[in-house]
Amino acid sequence: MSEDRVVALEIALKTVMAIARNHGLDLDQLCRQAIGAIIGDAAMTLVKADHAQDSIAEIEMAQADIARLQLFFDAIRNS
């Protein structure tokens, strides 16, 4: 996969997470459910076993980035 595609996918994941949060969804719960689906949902055939751990890590890193971004914007708003 090209580096440009990797960057685009990271941006897409973070954007979807940010919009979900802005629409009132609980981002922690959303990520837990996504990770749970990767780990234990037999119907989840999108992720091959050898990619599961990397997929989970990507979700967790994106979630952490969104949380940091939210803290940054909260600090600006409150200053």
Q: How many domains does the chain have?
A: 1
Report the share of the chain in percent with pLDDT over 90: 59
SS3 content of the chain, % helix, strand, coil (to 5): 80, 0, 20
What is the domain range of residue 61?
3-77
State how far the Cα of 32 lies from the Cα of 46, in Å rounded to an integer.
Answer: 17
Per the CB < 8 A criterion, the answer to whether 17 and 30 are in contact is: yes
Quote the strand ranges of the chain, DSSP E.
none
Mean pLDDT on 55-72 = 90
pTM of structure: 0.81
Q: Mean pLDDT of all residues in the chain?
A: 88
pLDDT at 3 over 80: yes
pLDDT number for residue 69: 84
